[in-house]
Amino acid sequence: MANPLPLEAEVGVIGAGAMGAGIAQIAVQAGHRVHLFDTRMGATDQATTKIGEALVGLAAKGKLARADADAAIARIVPVHALGDLVSAKLVIEAIAEDLDVKRKLLRELEVVVVPEAILASNTSSLSITALAAGLKHPGRVVGMHFFNPAPVLPLVEVVSGLATRSETAAVVYETAKAWGKVPVHAASTPGFIVNRCARPFYAEALRLLAERAADPATLDAVMREAGGFRMGAFELMDMIGHDVNFAVTRSVWEAYFHDPRFTPSVFQQELVAAGFLGRKSGRGIYGYDANASKPEPRTESPQVRPARIRVAGDAAMTNGLRDRLTASGFDVGKMAADEAIAPSYLVVDDAFVVPCDGRTATTIAVGGGQPGVVVFDLAYDYGQCTRLAIARADTCTDEAAAAAIGALQAAGIAVSRIDDVAGLAVMRTVAMLANEAADAVTQGIASARDVDVAMRNGVNYPRGPLAWADTIGLDHVCTVLRNLAAHYGETRYRISPLLARRCATRAPLGE
């Protein structure tokens, strides 16, 4: 196993913006002397001041001893020429996300630092292979992708290009760990782990909006309150900035030769064209001016508690909802399942309440010969969720829909009805996240463990997508994807080879 960079080794950070300053703060807190460089006049001094304020703030909150804060501040050395980085053993660049600009910088650095010094790029999407190409020592170039804000978010993607030496990646991995971060290894491919595997979180939400399945506030509420995500996709895109989010999606799509799985949204393109970029522009999906108020999600009005509930079959989603209903005082009886409807479902008075399997409620109703079908969405935890999305078949009567809604409300769950779209909201998103994660493992971009670790720590998902697929059941995830592919007639929903293979062998997808 490699050792981390020794504390006596000096670190260079190039770029004194938010990311560069954050990385410098991490390194000085860990005990390294950091030389901070930026070509902009006064930028390093401003960053040093901000780092000092941040460290003093941590000390005031009791998260850092004041003596340690003062010592860390003293280790920040603003420098004014690349030549001042000559003694650095690790140089991390955090400059503009431009391949040519970064390559020029690396060529200049190569003649400044010693041959054994590591050159790391904080790029979020550029090829490490391309950055290192043409250098005399390409094996020492590695990606060290921090997430913003760097002092707060734990993940660091350690990205190896084709020429990166394994020893280089290992030292950077152990150094990130010694700095209190959660590192993962990734191969240099478009988007690395997080920016690739997270694309469906945005893409499926934008597709649902394009299909007018529900308004953004409702879709966001369902993802938070049922899916367990910290933010809904529209809230998150507004925070990131639609220009940034759209640019990342487009770059991944182009890098993968226009794979339909990564197709950008025309609606998001229009938002960018209009200048509706989100929080930073005062308007995005939502308004952010002084008079703006966030719209409320659509919630069904109270319905009468149903008289009778029975459970048919045995499946994870059905059982999760059954247990919630039982805990709410319902006497849930048992009955044989009609496979023409689904392998498992609930019968609430005259309503057939079916777990989402990627089909529309109307398709299930017509195929099963039962008009009163209501489909319910996936929840991270049916025992704790506060909201659930449903869709009713076009053939479903108001009375049957009211019975289904009343049962959920009696169990303490707010109900948001969305249009009868295939896959609903949480189910289709999680299935696609798991599928994309499985493809990343298939293609050797990262291990199953590192993919799940990256998604939990980089974007705060409640569960790694591969582990989530195991929890749902790989058979069910594959069924959802097949039904989505049949519904849309697109290769966008094709099943990853690894997911298909593990589904056939009953082996878990995660590690």
Annotated catalytic residues are 124, 145, 157, 195
CA distance 472 to 477: 7
The type of residue at 53 is E
* Among 84, 82, 94, 81, CA closest to 27: 94
Query: What distances in angstroms separate CA 463 from CA 222, 307, 470, one per listed residue?
Result: 16, 36, 11
* Among 156, 146, 83, 94, CA closest to 119: 94
What is Dmax (Cα atoms) for the chain?
79
Show the tokens assigned to 432: 């696609």
- Lateral strand order in the sheet of 10-14: 76-79, 34-37, 10-14, 88-93, 118-121, 141-146, 155-160, 182-187
Q: Which residue has the tokens 């003293």?
A: 74
Which value, in Å, is the radius of gyration of the alpha carbons in the chain?
26
List, as one string, the DSSP characters of 397-435: -HHHHHHHHHHHHHTT-EEEE--S-TTTTHHHHHHHHHH
